[in-house]
Amino acid sequence: MACRAQKVRRIKFVTAAFVATLTLAALLFLVSPFFHVREVVIQGNSRISQAEIRSHLEASYQTHIMFFNANAARRRVLENPYIGDVVIRREMPGTLHITVSERRLTAYVEHMPGSFLFLDDFGRVLEIRNYMTDQRPLLEGLQFTRFQLGEMLEVPDAASFGVVVHYAQLLNHHGLINRVTSMNVSDSSDIRILINYIEFKVGGVNNADEKIRTIIAILDEMPNVDTARGFVHMQEIARDIIFEILQ
């Protein structure tokens, strides 16, 4: 009987030692350089360079993919105002997949002579420069109290600013934003959109989508659209549209 019990204890000891050895081997394998980050795949970026995104990730070839702090890396990437969201996914054994969603540059506001705020289509300040880059409308007559990089522009009349944002989003949606030279938004009930040398007086927010569609139709039908000068009165879309030609 004692011999049998001794045999059982020996089998248990051997089994435990075998399991411990396998566990240790597995742990050593998991922390080995085999699982170090070897590739970072970045997609969704156009304005922000891959090099800048990589610098915020802080993932080198010595970084173990299991110990990579994705939450902290995500927070660092989101510090760039142009990036609205980022998704980080691990792919074993050593690949990080980074998918970013960039905010769209939609308009400019002159902060002071020779200094411009870059805004997205919600009124967030993306950048401050002393020159404009892409073809986007300059918002004329927009009043604001203060601004902070990466935050929404603070304006005294939020409702009126909402009208401006609505028109900006529609211009983006219909692919017209890069043809607009300026938008006079000093009066939210009398918004004026300048395209080339034609000023479209669209009035307020009523039927805004239909007004933008009508602008596109007018531009498509106008043979001398690049050189024509004048005013298009379309405050009330239901009425006949009046085009004043300037000599």
Higher pLDDT: 104 or 11? It is 104
Q: Is residue 123 within 8 Å of residue 153, measured between CB atoms?
A: yes
pLDDT at 102: 97
**What pLDDT, on the 0 to 100 scale, is given for residue 26?**
45
In the predicted structure, residue 8 carries a pLDDT above the cut 60: no
pLDDT category of residue 11 using cuts at 50, 70 and 90? low
Which pLDDT band, with edges at 50, 70 and 90, does 12 fall under?
low
Residues in CB range of 127: below 8 A, 6 or more apart = 81, 82, 117, 118, 149
In this predicted structure, the answer to whether residue 173 has a pLDDT above a threshold of 60 is yes
CA dist 107 and 117 (Å) reads 8
Identify the pLDDT of residue 22: 52
Distance (Å, whole) CA 82 – CA 64: 29
Q: Which residues on adjacent β-strands are paired with residue 191?
A: 203
Residue 95 class from Cβ within 10 Å (0-12 exposed, 13-18 middle, 19+ buried)?
Answer: middle
Query: Looking at residues 26-40, what average pLDDT do you find?
Result: 66
Query: In this predicted structure, what is the pLDDT of residue 170?
Result: 96
Which CATH code for domain 107-245?
Answer: 3.40.50
Domain boundaries, the chain: 33-102, 107-245
Mean pLDDT of the chain: 87
Average pLDDT over residues 48-65: 89
Lookup: tokens for 32: 């080995």
Which residues does 191 contact at the CB level (< 8 Å), separation at least 6?
Answer: 163, 164, 167, 183, 184, 185, 201, 202, 203, 204
DSSP character at residue 146: B
The confidence score (pLDDT) of residue 153 equals: 94
- Is residue 18 predicted with pLDDT exceeding 50? no
Model confidence at 122: pLDDT above 80: yes
Residue among 167, 176, 169, 168 nearest 215 (CA): 176
Mean pLDDT of 12-21: 53
CB-CB contact of 40 with 59 (8 Å): yes
What does the pLDDT look like over 66-111, one tens digit per residue? 889 999 999 999 999 999 999 999 998 899 999 999 999 999 999 9
pTM: 0.82
Q: Give the whole-number percent of the chain exceeding pLDDT 70.
A: 84
Q: Which of 53-62, 124-133, 212-221 has the lowest mean pLDDT?
A: 53-62
Per CATH, is 33-102 categorized as 3.30.70.2190? no
What does the pLDDT read at residue 71?
Answer: 95
Rounded to 10 degrees, the C-alpha dihedral 133/194/190/116 comes to: 20
Highest averaged pLDDT of the listed ranges 3-12, 56-65, 196-205: 196-205
- Is pLDDT of 186 > 90? yes
Please name the residues in contact with 79: beta carbons below 8 A apart, sequence gap of 6 or more.
Answer: 56, 150
Average pLDDT over residues 8-32: 53
pLDDT level of residue 59 (50, 70, 90 thresholds): confident
Closest CA to 194 of 207, 180, 206: 180
Kindly state the average pLDDT of the residues 163-184: 95
